[in-house]
Amino acid sequence: MKKVSTYLPSLILSIFLVLALFGSLAMTIFDINVTAKKAKALSEKKELSSKVITQLNKHYREQAAATGIPANVFMDNISEEYIDSVIDAYIDGTFTAMKTNRSLNVQVPKNPAMEEALEKFFGDYADSIGYEKNEAFYRKLDNTKTNAYKNIGSCCDVFKASSLGKHGLLSKASKLYRLRPLLTFASVGGAVLLMLFILAVNWKDKRPFLYWTGIAAVISGIFGTVPSIYLVSTKYFDSFSIKQPQVFTAYTASMYRLTEAFMAVSISLLVIGIALIVIYGVSYRKNKSIADSTHPAPEKNEADTN
C-alpha cells in the first residue's frame, strides 16, 4: 500500500472523496426532505393550525374595540381543518414559486361560513341603528372580508414566503432549488467516480481500495456527525428570534429534522467506513500470515550463531 506509485494518488483521491461524500450526503438529504409533502406532514405533526388559530383569536380580540366586530364573528367560523387547507395552499404556492422562479401567487380558500357571519353581523347592526344598506355599506363589508382573508393568509404563511419574496430571497432560493437534482447527481456521481479511480490505482492489489474508501467515509462521517450532535444537543435553532409561534415552530422543526436526518446518515457512513477499515485489516493480516507460512524465514545454522 505504501508504494509511491499507488500511495500518493490514493491519498489525493481520498481527500477529494471526503468532500464528495460530504456533499453527496448533504444534497441527498436536502433533495429528499425539502418537498411540499414533507412540509405538509411537518405542519400536521407540529399542529401549526392550532397555533395559527391562537394567533388569529388574539388578533381579533385586540382589534374588536377598533373595528366594533366581536372576535367570535370570525373565530366561530374558522376551524383547524380550514386553517390546514390555507397552510397547505401556501406550502404548495411556495414550492411552485421555487420550481418555476415566479412570484408567490396564493389564493386563500374561501370560507362561506365566515362570510355569512360577517354579512349577518353587518346587516343586524345596520338594522339596529337604522343605517341604509347602500354602496358604502357593501363596500365596507367587502373590505372587511378581503382584510379577513389577508390576515388569515398572513398567519398561515408559516414559512413567510411572502416576506421572502418581497426581499428577493425567494428568487435566490428558487435558483438553488431548481439546481437540486443536478447538484445531487453531480455530488453522488463524483463520489462514485472517485471511488472507481481509487480502485483503478490499486488494480493489482484491490485491498487498499477498502482502506482508502473507509478512511474517506470515516472522516466524512465525523465531519457530518460532530456538528449535527452539537446543533441538536444544544438546541441551537431554539435561539431563532421569531415572534409568531407558528413561524418559529415551522422553521425550527424543519431545521432540526434536516439536521437529525443528516446526523443519522453521517453516523451510518462513519460505521460503514470503520467496517471497511476492519475488513481491510483482517484481509491484510490473513494475507500476511499466508505469505509467511508459504515462505518461512531461513533457519540459522550453528556457524551463524557462533
- Of 282 and 151, the structure prediction assigns the larger pLDDT to 151
Name the one residue in this structure whose C-alpha cell is 506509485: 5
Say if pTM beats, i.e. exceeds, 0.95: no
> What is d(CA 213, CA 193) in angstroms, rounded to the nearest whole number?
12
Q: Is residue 187's pLDDT more than 90? A: yes
Tell me the per-residue pLDDT of 240-258, one tens digit each, with 9 for 90 and over. Answer: 888 899 999 999 999 999 9
What is the pLDDT confidence band of residue 203, given thresholds at 50, 70 and 90?
A: confident
Residues of the chain by 3-state class (helix, strand, coil), percent to 5: 80, 0, 20
> What is d(CA 286, CA 289) in angstroms, rounded to the nearest whole number?
5
> What is d(CA 90, CA 18) in angstroms, rounded to the nearest whole number?
38
Q: Is residue 302's pLDDT more than 50? A: no
Question: Which pLDDT score, from 0 to 100, does residue 215 have?
Answer: 96
Tell me the per-residue pLDDT of 34-92, one tens digit each, with 9 for 90 and over. Answer: 999 999 999 999 999 999 999 999 999 999 988 899 999 999 999 999 999 999 999 99
Helical H segments across 157-244, by residue range: 161-166, 169-178, 180-201, 207-233
What crossing angle do the helices spanning 180-201 and 207-233 adopt, rounded to 10°? 140
Candidate from 13-17, 154-158, 181-185, 282-286 with smallest mean pLDDT: 282-286
Residue 106: count other Cβ atoms within 10 Å of its Cβ: 19
Once rounded to an integer, what is the mean pLDDT over residues 219-229? 96
Instruction: Give the percent of the chain with pLDDT over 90.
Output: 74
Candidate from 169-178, 219-228, 229-238 with smallest mean pLDDT: 169-178
Among the listed residues 179, 111, 119, 175, the one whose alpha carbon sits nearest the alpha carbon of residue 149: 111
Question: Which pLDDT score, from 0 to 100, does residue 98 have?
Answer: 93
Once rounded to an integer, what is the mean pLDDT over residues 176-203? 93
Question: Which pLDDT score, from 0 to 100, does residue 252 have?
Answer: 96
Q: Running DSSP on this structure, what letter comes out for residue 240? A: -
What is the pLDDT confidence band of residue 17, given thresholds at 50, 70 and 90?
A: very high
Q: Is residue 295's pLDDT more than 60? A: no
Question: Which pLDDT score, from 0 to 100, does residue 305 have?
Answer: 41
> What is d(CA 244, CA 238) in angstroms, rounded to the nearest whole number?
13
Give residues with Cβ within 8 angstroms of 177, minimum separation 6: 34, 98, 99
113 and 82 in contact (C-beta within 8 Å)? no
Among the listed residues 263, 187, 181, the one whose alpha carbon sits nearest the alpha carbon of residue 23: 187
Q: Is residue 304's pLDDT more than 50? A: no
Question: Which pLDDT score, from 0 to 100, does residue 5 have?
Answer: 73
